């Protein structure tokens, strides 16, 4: 499989603080890659660096195009949807307005209506709450809204930062089922950052393990799942 | 079925987030037409001084809508809107004084001048957030009256003396006094500006403005060009306030540097908060408040009018933390007997 996203020698820093020290990894077309690692390892920063939200150097190519020097909004327009950590909704707008904002850069107005229905198909609860202010949704509902909104962009690649964070176990499974469907049926590639390593490894085909801004291990997800030593020493399960 | 407890009723009536957006009843056609009808007959029923004051309420309302677009819908703060108001007022006054421009034609020129100035000011101000932006705009407000007094500019600005403008007569031999005509002229401009603001806020651009206000990071992830939208909003906000300034100059027939001090910025801010941040019709409540309440405070105590005004503002904020918008929402809910949104 060819790579949709290729990251080579990625460095990133917040002001004088260097956080990423030369990461190289890739997400294959229609594939799922997961980034694992402890708190402060640099997972969130990696996603931010890909979308141009922090100062970065190195070489990032998306669908054959170099995006290392592109602006965040340009990268979004290319079809990279970032679902940031925390509840990144537009709190004072309604659910429907939030979703429509996901498609704001698109010109095909009619398809947007279809896509709204498609998102409601995945997340029926959002349809029930379409007129409600996003800030008044429950945490889990807001997480679904953030993912639904990213879908409205019709992304080729989604960057998901701990989508399961703060969700009840049943909801986590539901969410991962939806992510699986998105990937398998719609061919959306995923770069998944997760604390829940067991779950992420089930969905992913490739995994990279991050420690203080460096990749310490990488391989096929299946290998890691089956390698007890790695699981014990790095993933703690 | 058991009757719902009082607590439950309260829970239903109280929205979970205090700054819920626009109460919908005021957006209702019949309310708008009734208000307009009253606005159209008022000048025939009241003294000409009150007509003059109502005209100023409308002028303030336009300026407050401008500030609301910036603060209420885009989340940027400004203590410098007196500068845009002053620029609009001086552009209008100078055009009429020096090149005999027709008064109505000064409005678009003042608006465009302020848009350009606001946009350019907005560009570097983009790097500033919250209180820092407030400080930068504060500097603008403080500098403006002094710049207007500078002697090299005196030929144009009239220096400390300012510029006196003559009051326009009603056109086409309409049987209206000058005050009545100016009122109707201002009302027309106000209606147009309000409709445009309403449409802007409801448009895709308006959504993007609000998305930036609510969550700039997520807005960028959606592909929204924050720098562009923020600067444009600054420009449009300045345009509104500049048109208000031009109208104000025509209505008051006079511009002078000391009419446009930092205090004017605060007045607009008070009007914004009193009317309700993020609710366009609130500007009319806010405009009326900042025009009439200081006079009322003065009628209570000449020596302590400032203190009385201050106490009234504090009381109002305690009773109506979301301004007139909150009050209107509560009344609407009572009338409909149900929750809106
Ligand atoms: N805005 C910032 N300014 C300065 N340093 C930052 C900033 N954000 C993160 N860092 C630092 O960068 C490092 C990596 O942070 P990052 O958020 O990428 O970690 P993470 O792997 O996502 O951790 P977690 O699992 O806790 O979310 C940390 O040491 C953190 O302190
Ligand atoms: Mg993180």
pLDDT score of B6: 39
Is residue B44 within 8 A of residue B54, CB to CB? The reply is no
* Tokens at B112, concatenated: 């465009």
- For residue B186, pLDDT over 90 is answered with yes
Per-residue pLDDT band for A237 (boundaries 50, 70, 90) equals low
pLDDT score of B21: 45
The stretch B290-305 carries a mean pLDDT of 88
Interfacial B residues in 245-304 facing A (CB < 8 Å)? 278
- For residue B85, pLDDT over 60 is answered with yes
The domain of A209 spans: 1-79+157-162+191-237
CA separation for the pair A205, A30 (Å, rounded): 10
- For residue A134, pLDDT over 80 is answered with yes
CA separation for the pair A180, A117 (Å, rounded): 19
- Residue B139 has phi, psi (to 5 degrees) of -60, -40
Picking from A128, A118, A188, the residue whose alpha carbon sits closest to that of residue A149 is A118
Residue A178 lies in a domain: no
For the segment B214-270, what is each residue's pLDDT rounded down to a tens digit? 999 899 988 899 989 999 999 999 999 999 999 999 999 999 999 999 999 999 999
Residue A228 lies in a domain: yes
Judge: A73–B341 Cβ closer than 8 Å, yes or no.
no
pLDDT score of B2: 42
Is residue B205 within 8 A of residue B219, CB to CB? The reply is no
Judge: A91–B215 Cβ closer than 8 Å, yes or no.
yes
- For residue B337, pLDDT over 70 is answered with no
pLDDT score of B9: 36
Per-residue pLDDT band for B7 (boundaries 50, 70, 90) equals very low
What's the gap in Å between A208 CA and the centre of ligand 1? 17
Contacts of A91 (CB under 8 A, 6+ apart): A133, A134, A135, B17, B214, B215
Chain-wide mean pLDDT for chain A?
91
Picking from B185, B295, B291, the residue whose alpha carbon sits closest to that of residue B246 is B185
| Site to substitute for ligand 1 among A11, A15, A17, most atoms within 8 A of C-beta | A17
Judge: A132–B210 Cβ closer than 8 Å, yes or no.
no
- For residue A232, pLDDT over 50 is answered with yes
H or E stretch at B187? helix B178-202
Size of interface A-B (CB pairs under 8 A): 91
Give the CATH number, domain containing residue A18.
3.40.50.300
- Ligand 1 shell residues, CB under 6 Å: A 14, 17, 19, 37, 39-45
User: Which residues in chain B have their CB less than 8 angstroms from residue A97's CB?
Assistant: 207
Q: Report which protein residue has its CA nearest ligand 1's atom 12.
A: A19
For the segment A31-77, what is each residue's pLDDT rounded down to a tens digit? 999 999 989 999 999 999 999 999 999 999 999 999 999 999 899 99
Per-residue pLDDT band for B14 (boundaries 50, 70, 90) equals very low
pLDDT score of B61: 97
The stretch B29-44 carries a mean pLDDT of 87
Q: How many residues does chain A have?
A: 237
Residue A150 lies in a domain: no
pLDDT score of B320: 87
CA separation for the pair B316, B289 (Å, rounded): 11
- Number of structural domains in chain A: 1
Residue A65 lies in a domain: yes
CA separation for the pair B177, B55 (Å, rounded): 13
Residue A124 lies in a domain: no
- For residue B3, pLDDT over 50 is answered with no
pLDDT score of B10: 35
Judge: A104–B208 Cβ closer than 8 Å, yes or no.
yes
Per-residue pLDDT band for B171 (boundaries 50, 70, 90) equals confident
User: β-pairing, A206-211 with A214-220?
Assistant: antiparallel
């Amino acid at each position: 499989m060819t790579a949709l996203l290729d990251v080579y020698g990625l460095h990133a820093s917040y002001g004088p603080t260097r956080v990423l020290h030369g990461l190289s990894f890739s997400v294959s077309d229609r594939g799922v890659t997961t980034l694992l690692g402890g708190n402060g390892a640099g997972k969130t920063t990696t996603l931010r660096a890909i979308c141009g939200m922090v100062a970065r150097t190195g070489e990032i190519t998306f669908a054959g195009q170099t995006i290392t020097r592109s602006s965040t909004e340009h990268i979004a327009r290319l079809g990279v949807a970032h679902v940031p950590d925390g509840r990144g909704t537009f709190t004072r707008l309604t659910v429907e307005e939030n979703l429509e904002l996901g498609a704001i850069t698109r010109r095909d107005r009619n398809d947007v209506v279809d896509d709204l229905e498609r998102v409601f198909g995945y997340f029926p609860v959002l349809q029930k709450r379409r007129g409600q202010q996003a800030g008044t949704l429950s945490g889990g509902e807001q997480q679904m809204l953030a993912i639904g909104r990213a879908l409205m962009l019709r992304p080729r690649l989604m960057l998901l930062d701990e989508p399961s964070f703060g969700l009840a176990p049943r909801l986590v499974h539901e969410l991962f089922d939806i992510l699986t469907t998105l990937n398998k049926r719609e061919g959306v590639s995923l770069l998944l950052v997760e604390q829940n390593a067991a779950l992420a490894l089930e969905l992913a085909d490739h995994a990279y393990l991050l420690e203080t801004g460096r990749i310490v291990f990488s391989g096929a997800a299946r290998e890691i799942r089956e390698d007890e030593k790695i699981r014990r020493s790095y993933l703690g399960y | 079925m058991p009757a719902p407890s009082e607590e439950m009723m309260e829970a239903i009536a109280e929205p979970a987030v205090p700054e819920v957006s626009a109460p919908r009843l005021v957006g209702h056609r019949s309310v708008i037409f009734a208000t307009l009808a009253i606005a159209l007959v008022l000048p025939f029923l009241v003294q000409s001084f009150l007509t003059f004051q109502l005209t100023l309420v409308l002028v303030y309302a336009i300026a407050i809508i401008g500030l609301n677009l910036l603060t209420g819908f885009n989340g940027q703060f400004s203590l410098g809107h007196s500068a845009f108001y002053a620029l609009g007022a001086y552009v209008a006054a100078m055009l009429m004084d020096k090149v005999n421009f027709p008064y109505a034609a000064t409005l678009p020129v003042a608006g465009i001048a302020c848009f350009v100035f606001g946009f350019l000011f907005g560009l570097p101000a983009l790097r500033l957030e919250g209180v820092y932006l407030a400080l930068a705009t504060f500097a603008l407000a403080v500098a403006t009256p002094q710049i207007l007094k500078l002697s090299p500019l005196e030929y144009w600005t009239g220096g400390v003396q300012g510029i006196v403008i003559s009051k326009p007569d009603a056109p086409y031999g309409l049987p209206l006094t000058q005050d009545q005509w100016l009122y109707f002229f201002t009302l027309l401009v106000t209606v147009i500006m309000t409709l445009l603001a309403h449409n802007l806020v409801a448009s895709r651009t308006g959504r993007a403005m609000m998305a930036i206000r609510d969550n700039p990071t997520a807005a960028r992830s959606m592909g929204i060009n924050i720098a562009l939208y923020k600067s444009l909003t600054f420009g449009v906000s300045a345009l509104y306030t500049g048109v208000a300034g031009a109208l104000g100059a025509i209505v008051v027939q006079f511009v002078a540097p000391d009419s446009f001090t930092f205090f004017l910025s605060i007045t607009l801010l008070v009007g914004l908060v009193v009317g309700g941040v993020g609710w366009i019709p609130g500007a009319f409540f806010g405009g009326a408040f900042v025009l009439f309440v200081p006079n009322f405070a003065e009628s209570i105590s000449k020596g302590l009018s400032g203190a009385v005004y201050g106490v009234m503002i504090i009381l109002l904020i305690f009773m109506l933390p979301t301004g007139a918008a909150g009050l209107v929402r509560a009344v609407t809910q009572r009338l409909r007997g149900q929750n809106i949104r």
